[in-house]
Amino acid sequence: MGFLAITYWRKLVGGYPKDAISFIAASLANAIGSSILWPLTTLYVHQVLGRSYADAGLVLLFQALAGVIGQLVGGAMYHKFGPKNLIVTSMVISGLLIGLVVFTRDYWIYVAMTSIYGLMNGVAAPAINAYIGFRWPDHRRKLYNAIYVGNNIGLAVGASVGGLIAAFSFSMTYVVTALSTVAFGVFLLLFMQTERRSTANDLAMKTSISAASSSFAGMEEDLPLLKKLMNVRIYLFLGIGQMLFFVSIMIWNSGIAPYLSDGGYPLSMYSLLWTTNGIVIFAGQPITNWIKRRLAGSLRMEIVASSVICTAGYLFIALFHDNYICLVIGMIVCTLGEMLLLPVIPTFFSENAGKSAPFYMGIVGGFGSAGRMIAPTIYGTIYDQTGISLVLYLGMAASLLSFVVFVVHAYLHKSS
């Protein structure tokens, strides 16, 4: 599989525009820097700021909530401020704020800074996705997948590097993240300035609009916000499905993690599950590519196929979670489903929503962030009261519900 994966990626990258390759590389570097903080926030709040784990959970809650708001704002403001102003400003502000964290030991100032950091990252996310779709319309399907893979590799590398840096200095983790974020913002500023105004985005925009199905052709003009929101057919079921997907995937953090800890497994055994996730995302591309060709054939059916695979994986975990090897197998299966879903969502809007694509990317991204925000509280409460089994079955049920919702979405878009 490793040889096939390397061959696949060499062939894939060889077909990208040169400027797209530099964009992917910069995005990967930013993902590594941003991921350094991901596993360390709870420990920083407890060990450095001297607060309880409940207070640490509140930090994550506020940050996630700010991210939801940021996704909505970023999508809605894309055309008003332009991608360069929106993305670069967001990245620079978030980088400076997270760097200033090291100068305070006040808990509530820390909460405010990290929340604004989450807000700015949320603003940038749909704007970056929309920018990719508009600038490289002929390559966007492959590019969305490449960015997704790069972000996950960055997550794995960043989490590992973060532990090493934290062993030397907790504060340094924030400095490194700040530097990488600001550097990415500066890169994007210079990168976007190389565009010729009359080409790139404008040409890609027209291509995206002309490729949209007739059902959404009217979206090429700037419609009032209310009219966009009323067009629930294009975004609502996809958003609910993504929210349910993230509710299900959170069983790894808020169910299986404490289950392994309470069962006496070392932390390395839990980390191994995420190492498996990263390996599958990189090496499993030929498998998902085969699934796309043989079983799906269209974006809407790829979305449905993803929920089928994830539901099967979570059911397997719920039935056989007593065996650690079965958890690894379940992670492999669920990761394959994730690989089909997440890169497809921005692609769907780029190809079907025309100029309104950033707005709908922001809304659906907000749904996903909401799922990640509410799931830990639900699962944590259930785990404390009943143990792991009900958590796993609820995660499987959420995945099954996402399948139902995605089928409705596919039916509504059967002509696209």
Q: Where are the alpha helices (DSSP H) in 36-169?
A: 41-47, 53-76, 78-81, 83-100, 107-135, 140-168
Q: At what angle do helices 53-76 and 83-100 cross, to 10 degrees?
A: 160
* pLDDT of res. 195: 59
Instruction: Name the residue among 330, 327, 335 with its Cα closest to residue 291.
Output: 335
Alpha-carbon distance 343 to 296, whole Å?
A: 15
Q: Structural domains in the chain?
A: 17-211 (1.20.1250.20), 214-416 (1.20.1250.20)
Rounded average pLDDT per 10-residue block, the chain, 416 residues: 53 69 85 77 82 81 90 91 90 92 91 92 91 88 88 80 79 90 90 59 44 41 75 94 95 88 83 85 89 79 94 96 95 95 93 90 93 87 90 96 96 81
* pLDDT of res. 262: 87
Helix (H, G, I), strand (E, B) or coil at 87: helix
How many other β-carbons are positioned within 10 Å of the β-carbon of residue 367? 23
Sort 266 into a burial class: Cβ within 10 Å, 0-12 / 13-18 / 19+: exposed
Query: What tokens were used for 4?
Result: 């096939």
* pLDDT of res. 280: 92
How many other β-carbons are positioned within 10 Å of the β-carbon of residue 332? 17
**Who's near 25: CB < 8 A, 6+ residues apart?**
none
Distances (CA, A) of 287 to 89, 305, 325: 39, 13, 21
Instruction: Name the residue among 230, 210, 193, 170 with its Cα closest to residue 46.
Output: 170
DSSP assignment string, 273-327: HHHHHHHHHHHTHHHHHHHIIIII-SHHHHHHHHHHHHHHHHHHHHHHTTSHHHH
